Structures are given as C-alpha cells and as structure tokens.
Amino acid sequence: MDDSVHSRTRAQVAPGTQTLNFTLNGEPRTLEVAPNAVLLDVLREQLGLGGTKKGCDHGQCGACTVHVEGQAMNACLRLAVMCEGQHVTTVEGLARDGELHPVQQHFLECDAYQCGYCTPGQMMSATALLNDERVGTDDASVREAMSGNICRCGAYKNIVEAIQKSRESLSYDATRKEGAA
Amino acid sequence: MRTFAFSRADSIDAAATPADATAFVAGGTTLLDLIKLDVLQPESVVDINALPLKRVERLDDGRLKIGALVTNTDLAHHPEVKAHYPVLSEALLAGASTQLRNMATTAGNVMQRTRCPYYRDPAAKCNRREPGSGCDAMDGINRMNAVLGGSDACIAVHPSDMCVGIAAIGATLTLQGPNGEREVDFADFHRLPGDTPHVEHDLQEGELITALTLDAPLPGAGSHYLKLRDRASYEFALASCAAEITLDGETIRDARIALGGVATKPWRCTEAEAALVGQPAEKASFERAAEIALKDAVPREHNAYKIPLARQAIVRALRNAAQDRTSQRETQETQA
C-alpha cells in the first residue's frame, strides 16, 4: 500500500463535495467542502474569516493556529472534513459581547507584536496554554509551550509578558467569580 | 493540492483492507504536509479517527498497551507513562510543537517520514521517494543526514523523538491486516535502507497499526532523554539519546541506550549496553560505551560532527540517568 501511495499515476478528480457539520465560534455551521479542502483554506476562502493566517502552510510557523475541541492545532494540516461534529474556535471567536479577551487586551497593552501577522496564532496558542493545567506557569514553560509559533519580528519577550499578565487577570477573574457564587 | 477521495472507517476490519494508493489519516501532520509537496500521492484517504484505538492500559504482565490513536500530548502526560516511562514522556515533549503534538498520534509518529530535504523535494533525486532515481543527499548538503545505518542508496534520518524513547524501552507493535492480527518487535519494524530505501517498514498491504505495547519498565531504573539541536525548541535533533540505567551500589547492573538524529531508523545500541554491565557508573565507562556505539559510523562531507556529538550525547544522557537513579535511591532511603 505504501509503495503505491508514492506512485506517479495522477489521482482521479475527487467525486464531488462532502457536507461538513461543525460548531464554529459557538455557532452551528453546515457547509459543502471538497474532500481535500484544508481547514485553514475553508476558514479563509469559504467562510471569509481572515484572522487565521497562512504562513508556511506546513505546520512550521503556527500562524494558522486554531482550537479544535479546545486544543491548539495547525489548521493548515487538518482536512476540513475531519472536523465533522467538532468545536472549532478561531481568533474571531475570542472576544465576547464586544469585549476583548484578556489575552487580546494584554497583547495590545504589552505591544506584543510588530507586523501582527503571527499575532492571531500567538493568541490562540496563548489562550490554550492558559487553560492547560499540564503546562507550567513559569516563563520557561510558557516559552516552550509557545515554541510552535514563530514571530519574525522577534516580539517574543513582550508576548511572554502579555501571557503572564493575562494569567494574573484571568486568575483574578476566577477568584472574583468564586467569591460571587 | 492534488485531489483525493475521502472516507471514514467505522471498524478496524473495514480499514484493514488492501486498497491501491490509499493512505490512512489520523493526525494528518505528516500526510497532509507531504501531499501538499506532492511527495505522497494517495488517490484515497481513509480517516481512522473513529476507531476505538485511544486507550492506554496496564497489562497483567506489567507491560503498557497504548492505542494507535492516543495523541502525543496525551501520551506524554499520561500518569502511567510519567511514573514508569519518564524517558518516553521526555522524548515526546522534546518533539515538534504543542499544536503538532495535539494532532499527532502514537502510530502516526511511528510512521512519520524522514525530513531529508531531498526526499521532500520532488525535483531532487531520491531513492526513497522514487526508487532507482539516485540520492542527491549523498554529495549534497548532508549536514542533517545519518551517520549510522545508511547505505549507498540512502542516508536519510528517521526524525522521531518518541521512537528513540520507545527503542530504549523495548516494545511490540500490533498490526491488523486482511489475514488477521500479528505482532512485530519494534526493533524490527523500521527497515534499514539497504538497496530498497522506499521500503521503510514492515507494514504489509492493507495492514493498520492498532497498538504499541511497551515492555515492562526496568525496575529501579534512572533515565534521561537528551536532545541536541540547532535551536532550543521546536527543531529536529542533530543527535539525541534515550538512556536508562540500573545500579548495584556504584556498579552498573543494566543499561539501555538508543540514539536519534544520527541514524536511518530508531537506533538501539545493544553492544554498547552490554559493555556497561558490571562496570563502575563513571565517565570512563560511559565514554567506552559511546565509542562502541559510534564505531561503525560513516560520515559524509557535512555531517562528521554528528559522531562526536552523538558520543557526547550518550555520555551525558548516561551520567544524568545514573544521577537520576542515585537521587531516586536517596529519596527512597529518606522515606524509609
């Protein structure tokens, strides 16, 4: 089987499109996608959500990072049809009721970008790691967990600062909610 | 990107059926990358994510059975792995990025392809991608290529970190095919390139990896996974070493050594391991073992540096594993 995958015969044109049902930024969506359509391209081209960026298109830069079932993934290496029945969140889904997510707010306040192209992917990785108890809270752990997001402008120092400040405000919010409950 | 048909397998038997030019997709991190480059050209892609292959279970004989679809992230953080196979947890977390580990699966990692730039470039000659076409790496920019296990046809490195940890621990792969189930020793699964570098592993037509079962943990072992690379994170190894060691006092009772980044398959160093048994746990012993492990290394123009680098990786990984063992013993004594 493996040898034939390498074969030089041209593939047949895939038969038609497939129906994809999934939840995107909290909203149920149904759309027709080609079997070989990649999630990143469906988000940008078919759904007009340009926040998720195409950098390398090979899982090497992290600009396309989205959440699938709450976990950070490279949208460039995932077929859209593989998201059937799943929850997908893009950078457009971070803000709630017109209010920026604390991570967005702190990226702004800490000047955690220069050209901004990698920023949506950085923020998606940042929000995922802040929700992941398996990741340590010190700067070194944050840098390691964020290493799949490349910033060519080199804003790394401010990105780590923005994440750590977000952690403080998120835990402050959590404490406040517990107090209110 | 080329077109292909897409379907979902709803049972292991349905998936394990011979089909021309069909590729299984689990995490997709290797497959989609290489389809985009036109290196892999499947006509049909079968999604196996619905199959019940996501369990991790301790067997009665002490071994740990890992479902093919357990993600690299989940395996690295699994309590059984952290407690009994820390070298595997370290190796997994040293590989790729958070995003890729969240997508990549255990069997997919075993099946991942080389990162040799000539394999990844359809315009280059590569016997692994296109049998008989030649090897542009041999006299090309071969700084990242293998010094162990190569042939005149191919010097591509097996890129996995996870597999280096598994090679040191020892394991069995369970394969399901049209003729039923069979088991293969992990050490025999990946093939040396020889004259047929395109035959990368022992998987037959229609077969699917369903599980990987780790050997029972080495009792009282200290361990370490050391990875040396061009940048601190998210980079493939120039050389890496998974080491496990057990001691009687200051004498080595048993040792396990596997290398990554320098060989054409996950590279277990059994001769070097045997040379350590009964020796004092000190630098001179580790250096002798490292000499033995690299004695058959064959460098090309740009990768000779990997030989001393791999030796040093072995020495340091063994030293750290022995210290890990010592600290474990001291902890136990304090508790007793």
Give me the CATH number covering residue A142: 1.10.150.120
The token duo for B286 is 């580790």
Q: Does residue A48 sit within a domain?
A: yes
Question: H helices of B158-269, where?
Answer: 162-169, 186-189
Over range B321-335, report the average pLDDT.
73
Per the structure, the count of domains in chain A is: 2
Q: Is residue A140 less than 8 Å (CB to CB) from chain B?
A: no
pLDDT band at A96 (very low <50, low <70, confident <90, very high): very high
Please report whether residue A117 resides in a domain: yes
Q: CA-CA distance, B260 to B238, in Å (whole number)?
A: 8
How far, in Å, CA of B28 to CA of B71, rounded?
12
Q: What is the pLDDT at residue B20?
A: 83
Query: A142 and A121, same structural domain?
Result: yes
Do A20 and A88 fall within a single domain? yes
- Substitution target in A1, A4, A7, A18 with the highest count of B β-carbons within 10 Å is A1
- Rounded CA separation B206/B12 (Å): 11
Residue A2 belongs to a domain: no
Sheet with A65-68: list strands edge to edge: A27-33, A18-24, A87-89, A65-68, A71-74
pLDDT at A9 exceeding the cut of 50: no
Q: Give dist(CA B307, CA B314) in Å, integer.
A: 11
Q: Is the pLDDT of residue B291 over 60?
A: yes
Question: No. of H helices and E strands in chain B?
Answer: 12, 12
User: Would A181 be classed as within a structural domain?
Assistant: no
Q: What is the pLDDT of residues B16-73, one digit of tens each?
A: 888 888 999 999 999 999 999 999 999 999 999 999 999 999 999 999 999 999 999 9
Is B50 in the A-facing interface, judged by CB distances under 8 Å?
no
Domain co-membership, A131 together with A89: no
Least confident of A170-174, B66-70, B246-250: A170-174
The sign of the torsion formed by the CA atoms of B165, B171, B176, B182 equals: positive
Whether chain B has a CB inside 8 Å of the CB on A133: the answer is no
Within a domain: A58: yes
Nearest alpha carbon to residue A146 among B304, B232, B9, B78: B232
Among A65, A93, A121, which residue terminates a domain? Answer: A93
pLDDT tens digits for A33-89? 999 999 999 999 999 999 999 999 999 999 999 999 999 999 999 999 999 999 999
Contact B28 A35 (CB under 8 A): no
Buried b (16+ CB within 10 A) or exposed e, B288-300: ebbebbbeebebb
Residue B104 near residue B29, CB atoms below 8 Å? yes
Residue A100 to residue A107: CA distance in whole angstroms: 10
Residues B214, B290 contacting (CB under 8 angstroms): no
Single-letter residue type at A179: G
pLDDT > 60? residue B135: yes
Does position B314 have pLDDT exceeding 80, yes or no? yes
Q: Give the domain CATH number at A87.
A: 3.10.20.30
Residue B254 near residue B245 (C-beta atoms within 8 A): yes
pLDDT score recorded for residue A2: 45
| CA distance linking residue B256 with residue B276, whole number of Å | 9
Whether A49 and A112 map to the same domain: the answer is no
pLDDT tens, residue by residue, A103-131: 999 999 999 999 999 999 999 999 999 99
Residues of chain B contacting A76 with CB distance shorter than 8 Å: 32
Rg (CA), chain B: 20
What ipTM goes with this model? Answer: 0.94
Q: For the structural domain made of B222-335, what CATH number should be given?
A: 3.30.390.50
Residue A148 domain-assigned (yes or no): yes
| The domain boundary residue, chosen from A38, A64, A93 | A93
- Cα separation, B129 vs B140, in Å, equals 17
* CA A88/CA B123 separation, integer angstroms: 37
Among B192, B200, B191, B111, CA closest to B152: B192
**Residue type at B254?**
D
- CB-CB contact of A52 with A90 (8 Å): yes
Q: How far is B248 from chain A (nearest CA, A)?
A: 35
Q: Taking residues A13-36, report their average pLDDT.
A: 90
Nearest chain B CA: its distance from A178 CA (Å): 28
Q: What is the DSSP letter of A92?
A: G
Rg for chain A, CA atoms, rounded:
18
Q: Is the pLDDT of residue B335 over 80?
A: no
Residue B269: DSSP 8-state: -
Summarised one tens digit per residue, pLDDT across range B177-217 is 999 999 999 999 999 999 999 999 999 989 999 999 999 99
Residues composing chain B? 336
Number of CB atoms found within 10 A of residue B320's CB: 18
| Residue that is last in its domain, among A93, A123, A147 | A93
Chain A to chain B, count of Cβ pairs less than 8 Å apart? Answer: 136
For residue A122, the surrounding DSSP H or E stretch is helix A119-130
The verdict on A64 and A106 lying in the same domain is no
| A89, containing H or E segment | strand A87-89
Q: In terms of domains, do A114 and A150 share one?
A: yes
Does the residue A4 lie in any domain? no
Distance from CA of A161 to the nearest CA of B (A): 19
The angle subtended at Cα B153 by Cα B35 and Cα B44, nearest 5°, is 20
Q: How far is A176 from chain B (nearest CA, A)?
A: 30
**Residue A1 falls within a domain, yes or no?**
no
**Which of A2, A57, A145 lies nearest to residue B203, judging by beta carbons?**
A2
Joined together, the tokens standing for residue A165 give 């400040």
Contact B258, B267 (CB under 8 A): yes
B174 pLDDT exceeds 80? yes
Torsional class of A100: left (φ above 0), alpha (ψ -120 to 50), beta (otherwise): beta
**Same structural domain, A85 and A149:** no
Query: Tell me, what's the pLDDT at B133?
Result: 98
The answer to whether B62 touches B23, Cβ cutoff 8 Å, is no
Nearest CA in chain A to B74: A134
Task: Kindly report the average pLDDT of chain B as a whole number.
Answer: 96
Taking residues B298-315, report their average pLDDT: 98
Give the domain range for residue A38: 16-93
Biggest alpha carbon–alpha carbon distance for chain A: 65
